[in-house]
Amino acid sequence: MAEAKGILQQAENEDRKAVPLFYRYNSQADLTALRQLAASCRCFSPQTGIEESESPECLLLDITGCEHLFGGEDDLAKQLAQQLDQQGYVARLAIANTVGAAWALAHYHASEDLKSIASLPVKALRLPTRVLQTLHELDIRRIEQLQALPRQTLASRFGDEVARRLDQAIGEIEELIIPVRLPEPIEAAYSFEEPVANRDALQMVVRQLLDKITRQLESSQQDVRSLLVHLSSGKAQGTSFTVGLVQPRASARHLFELIAMKFDRLTLTSPVTGVLLRATITTPLLKQQHNILGDQQTQQSQQLLAALLERMSSRLGERAVVRPKRYPDAQPEHAFRLEAVVGRGQKSEVRSQQEKKHAGLWPLTSDLFSSRPLRFEPTLIPIRVISVTSNGPPVRFYWRDQDHRIARYWGPERIEAGWWRERNALRDYYRVETESSQQFWVYRCLRTRCWFLQGAFE
């Protein structure tokens, strides 16, 4: 048996050293990640599972009969540890004759030459907290002290859990590993007897495969958000593209329309030998009850808008149809990112390595953005400002050959950010209202003492 304990929050080594990162705990996401990690370890054992616990954090592998394929138990453990490390996990491994002994050694012993678990603490037996408290009150700290007690008295004193866990650890009771079963992929494929270059024939096959995909989605009560289309070309690598949706759905007609638009932009370098369709991202089927009070028009408008965005993305490319998204950065011109409307995992702007390190240090709150103008100028606009004192608020400013007299103002708001960039910002911002009731967002650069207009409030 082999047991590995991994840190489920994946981070780069240099990030761990430079900036402490904190993540909101999500038990379901952790469980999903652990199941996927167990599935990735099937190359070491056909019997790979996770521990039975309310909050599982360990992998269990039955390597009986597999060790010789890797040069022995030690070499298998080294290769497994290397694979986990490459995936960004910090793991502790132990090999023992039972699941319980492997779990105990991985958690409570650092040496590799220990042959018995007798000297380990009793909590290495995976006992409930209430049982451990009782054992500690009786000054029973190690497993060897527990083994010294008469076996017939264990159940009457501590319940069946203690005897069961002890017997599992020493091999008196067999403990099975329940293999992780990931859901089968929703896909359909077709292979041609002879290579095909006719696009009409390819599209006819795609229609047939889409019918199979939608039937699978319907039977599993799911909608599709992302669909992979792969065209194999014999010895060549083949061609792949993805069709993304704004609103998940399982309409074969709509999906075919999006795929056909992709086909129009596709250049086939060689005849196609096979077609594969796979639903790469699915969501549970969402059934909405129709509102008899007249909200159907809004729902239809949202569906039409989503369909339009999906068609535009398929026709022009996902990166050509983007939308702004708030981003936690104190410097206003960097406080948003452009992301693709479909294929949301791919953003049209790539952050620099330094920005990746320091992302999340600035809180993203509604109060922050409520004080920002909805309309930003594409570039910073230099303006001439008159103020009473050199560090005081603006009294009037000149822009577009107009004299704007300020009736009232709010501020200053000091913003100093971007110290990891080449030039950091050091500014005093003012929200000003002119005598004509227009509101602008202006700031003074504390380095150059120059004034700039950055946006206007509608």
Query: What confidence tens digit (pLDDT) does each residue in 67-119 have?
Result: 999 999 999 999 999 999 888 888 899 999 999 999 999 988 755 445 578 88
Among 344, 335, 282, residue whose Cα is nearest residue 309: 344
At 326 the pLDDT is 79
Among 302, 289, 333, residue whose Cα is nearest residue 424: 333
Radius of gyration of the chain (CA): 31
Choose the weakest-confidence range: 40-54, 113-127, 352-366.
352-366
Architecture of domain 189-291: 2-Layer Sandwich (3.30)
Using an 8 Å Cβ cutoff, are 272 and 196 in contact?
A: yes
HSE (CB half, 13 Å, CA atoms) of 338?
A: 8
Model pTM score: 0.52
- pLDDT at residue 285 tops 80: no
Q: What is the mean pLDDT of residues 46-63?
A: 90
Cβ within 8 Å of residue 360, ≥6 positions away:
21, 328
Structure tokens at 449: 């003492």
Using an 8 Å Cβ cutoff, are 278 and 227 in contact?
A: yes
Which H or E run includes 184?
none
- Whole-angstrom CA distances from 318 to 203, 206, 264, 310, 339 are 21, 21, 15, 9, 9
> Using a CB cutoff of 8 Å and minimum separation of 24, what contacts does 317-323 make?
317/265, 318/244, 318/342, 318/343, 318/346, 319/346, 319/348, 322/348
- Of the pLDDT bands very low, low, confident and very high (cuts 50, 70, 90), residue 21 is low
Q: Within 109-159, where are the H helices?
A: 129-137, 143-148, 151-158
At 434 the pLDDT is 94
| Strand segments (E) across 289-446 | 322-326, 336-340, 375-387, 394-399, 402-417, 425-434, 439-445
- pLDDT at residue 366 tops 50: no
- Domains of the chain, by residue range, sit at 2-170, 189-291, 323-367, 371-457
Cβ within 8 Å of residue 23, ≥6 positions away:
9
Query: What confidence tens digit (pLDDT) does each residue in 308-357 have?
Result: 888 888 888 778 888 888 777 778 888 888 888 886 543 333 333 333 33
